[in-house]
Amino acid sequence: AQSVTQLDSQVPVFEEAPVELRCNYSSSVSVYLFWYVQYPNQGLQLLLKYLSGSTLVESINGFEAEFNKSQTSFHLRKPSVHISDTAEYFCAVGTQDGSEKLVFGKGTKLTVNP
């Protein structure tokens, strides 16, 4: 079975500071990896994904994540955050074995303060 661990439940940072949201996974088969974002009072939206190829993936709003197979990690980073980045971020893993479900981490609440 797969599992996802998001080590930090809450991450407070100041505006324009860098941030890293950590995600580790475990799986016995090859995986797809995702980061979803949930803004207040909204559903989840896909932020970025790793399916294959380059291990560094980027989103349109400046976030990036790097797939590290040896460390089974998929940490999310942004060099300079905005107040509008305040949201909850979920890491998720899907397997390449024909199973359809995504297994989510418990989420990291990012709060960007002025």
Residues that bind other proteins (CB under 8 A): 32, 36, 41-46, 49, 51, 90, 92, 94, 96, 98-107
Q: CA-to-CA distance for 45 and 93, rounded, in angstroms?
A: 15
Going by their DSSP bridges, the two strands 24-26 and 31-38 should be labelled as: unpaired
Q: Which is nearer to other proteins, 28 or 41 (CB)?
A: 41
- Residue among 28 and 100 whose Cβ is closer to other proteins: 100
In the complex, the smallest distance separating the C-beta of residue 12 from other proteins, rounded to whole angstroms, is 18
Alpha carbon 47 to chain centroid, angstroms? 8
Lookup result for tokens 């950590």: 22
Please state the closest distance from residue 38 (CB atom) to other proteins, in A.
8
Gap between the Cα atoms of 25 and 78, Å rounded: 20
Minimum distance from residue 16 beta carbon to other proteins (Å): 30
Our CB check for other proteins shows the closer of 30 and 80 to be 30
Please say which residue, 69 or 106, places its beta carbon nearer to other proteins: 106
CB of 90 to other proteins, least distance (A): 6
Pairing of strands 10-14, 108-113: parallel
- 42 token code pair: 């909204």
